[in-house]
Amino acid sequence: MQINQLEVSAETAGKLGLTEEEFDSIVKVLGRTPNFTELSIYSVMWSEHCSYKNSIHWLKTLPREGKRLLVGAGEENAGLVDIGDGLGCAFKIESHNHPSAIEPYQGAATGVGGIHRDIFTMGARPIAALNSLRFGNPNSDHMKHLVKGVVKGIGDYGNCFGVPTVGGEVYFHPCYNQNILVNAMSIGIVKAGETVSAIASGPGNPVFIVGSATGKDGIHGATFASADLTEDSAQDLPSVQVGDPFQEKLLLEATLEAIQTGAIVGMQDMGAAGISCSTSEMSAKAGTGMRIDLDKVPTRQSDMQAFEILLSESQERMLIVGIRGQEQALLEVFQKWDLVCEEIGEVTDTGRLEFFQSGEKVADVPSHSLVLGGGAPVYQREYRKPEYLKKIARFSLNAVKKPESYPEVTRRLAASPNLSSKRWIYEQYDSMVRTNTMTTNTFSDAALVRVKGTQKAIAATTDCNSNYVYADPYVGTMIAVAEAARNLVCSGAEPVAITNCLNFGNPYNPEVYYQFVHAIKGMGDACNKFGTPVTGGNVSFYNQSVFKDKTEPVNPTPTIGMIGIIDDHQKAMTLDFKAAGHQIYMIGTPHNDLGSSEYLRVIHDIHLSPVPKFDLDEEYHIQFNLKRLIKKGIIQSAHDVSEGGLFFCLLESAMPRQMGFHIETDGNFRKDAYLFGESQSRIVLTVKEEQEDELLNYLNTHNVPFSRLGEVSEGQISVDSEDFGDIGEWKSGYDSHLNSMMESAEA
């Protein structure tokens, strides 16, 4: 077979991120030495970002089955679950970390665009977006620049595209000073029978590329995402894609209309690795091949080489396999929406991808050899327990000095960017577009979005306290799953399934790989307990920075994106105190525990301490009974105790309606641990006085641990009869801390 390019060497492969052994494997698969274009295809498809070669062994141990799942875990572009009424919910979370660390606006914007395409490629209309963000020290001008760029990128893309950003989480920690994390989640709704699979079946069927023209932006983006950030990473700026939300909006409407023609066999978004990825994955899934003429691919530059066209990650593009003879139906739809729809090849029965340019074959590779679950390599890396865990084990609560002034401590804590309001961020997002968002003017632990035409609502959240995972990867990740479920349950929803975005350092570092393996084990055990299978997601390794001879991985951050269902959205639960005189209770067990708390870090400058107290069985018991309390209509509000501990849980419930609270602490515990400890499985409830006996009867009958804390007030706050001020003062500071921090100096 004649291939019109020079052959390459193992040295060339190394420069593209492939090992010598992987190069030898490619030679064996092809029966010859690959040319540069072929090697480039393998380099992106066998990168960590596309192949999951260092993670798939462990990912397969996660629970992947559930009664509501409509597609198998990882089989399609996103997870899909049955929500009843003939509807399915598609959802997924993915990372765009390295691009955002180099070019924050476009990195974040294209992350949002890419995850929405994963949803509507399946035939689902996106109805909501969430995110999970990690930044470094917000007082530095560089970090202000990154925060502002990321937030504006997310806001601009989502607002222009017309999908509300309804929720998320933001944490600040020095470990993210160079390598920030930007995880984007999308949720969509599709009618049963109207989904589309990412498959290229039917030899002879035409292959189309639709949407934007292909440019040189994003080339080797998947490889870029599978390498460490260094001081020279800014030179890789061309690896960052450029997004166009208006073009994506047209692509969304055209795609959903094209599905209705019945002329589509399969469809896939062109994300990481571009045409290389979509052609190989769709073909491998069907056991087919493709013959592609690269001269027919619309390009932005006239001099693009074959490898550039194949590896480009230009945004707002789809690969569609149509039905031979029905091409005109597709062309008319995309012409109506003023979008390019170009036939660039056809499906074959060879099982090979054959790419041509200028009449010559420039690459010929077996599709199956390129993909996860096919010929892509699978590794199990060495791992060992991190040395820093020994220091954590030496932590002594008795060595922590008790505060002299609790009002002063609470005000110092309130200034922490991790505890203060993120209003400065979320006000830049449009949360009301499409008018289905339920939690814009009301407050719940999870975001709530109505499903039009039904009484249902989707509850969604993103959760992960990476400090907990750092302190104990197994338990910390169980907590991430448990808190996600707890947030949904506190909102009145039944948790259904999760997607994950696993952000870790270099997998070749045995201590990092230990964190990863034990995080997966913790996630699996917790998901089994809550009946929330893992529908898919994203692994993002190499989140660390290299400066001279020092390598610093970020804290392990296995972000959980969880969805739940409320069958009657009018029965949703909110977190806000409703009226003075309502009684305040806490269900769950308090502990003399300050492990991994914001209190220890901010007040005592202690950064190594154990994971908070957590018991999976107790957590399940608390959540199960909370669901029943909500359904019975006994309680008026529910809010989980998390970062900042009990005091900040109460504060967050008091501020929405400008209420206050008078509470008494329990003398059996250290006062700082009782107020600021972050031990898990605790929820603050309020109840009308006339229903208090009903609540107590239920809790006692069902063996639910509880404490009476006090009552809701008109606006004053007191703890153990000590005045902590007025809620108006608290809310003013709470809402302005981050804004003041971000605007204190120009980035």
Residues whose CB is less than 8 angstroms from the CB of residue 137 and which lie 6 or more positions away in sequence, other chains included: 143, 172, 174, 177
Residue 133 CA to residue 131 CA, distance in Å, equals 6
CA end-to-end distance (rounded Å), the chain: 57
Residue 337 CA to residue 77 CA, distance in Å, equals 24
Is 662 within 8 Å of 710 (Cβ atoms)? yes
Residues whose CB is less than 8 angstroms from the CB of residue 286 and which lie 6 or more positions away in sequence, other chains included: 199, 200, 201, 266, 347
Cα-based distances in Å from 606 to 93, 170, 172, 600: 32, 21, 16, 5
Number of C-beta neighbours around residue 697 at 10 A = 11
Retrieve residue 715's tokens.
């606006």
Q: Is residue 436 left, alpha or beta, with left meaning phi > 0 and alpha meaning psi from -120 to 50?
A: alpha
What is residue 194's three-state secondary structure?
Answer: coil
Question: HSE (CB half, 13 Å, CA atoms) of 25?
Answer: 15
Residue 29 CA to residue 365 CA, distance in Å, equals 9
Query: Which of 455, 505, 500 is CA-nearest to residue 481?
Result: 500
Residue 277 CA to residue 271 CA, distance in Å, equals 8
Retrieve residue 131's tokens.
């995110």
Is 233 within 8 Å of 240 (Cβ atoms)? no
Residue 346 CA to residue 356 CA, distance in Å, equals 12
* Active-site amino acid positions: 49, 96
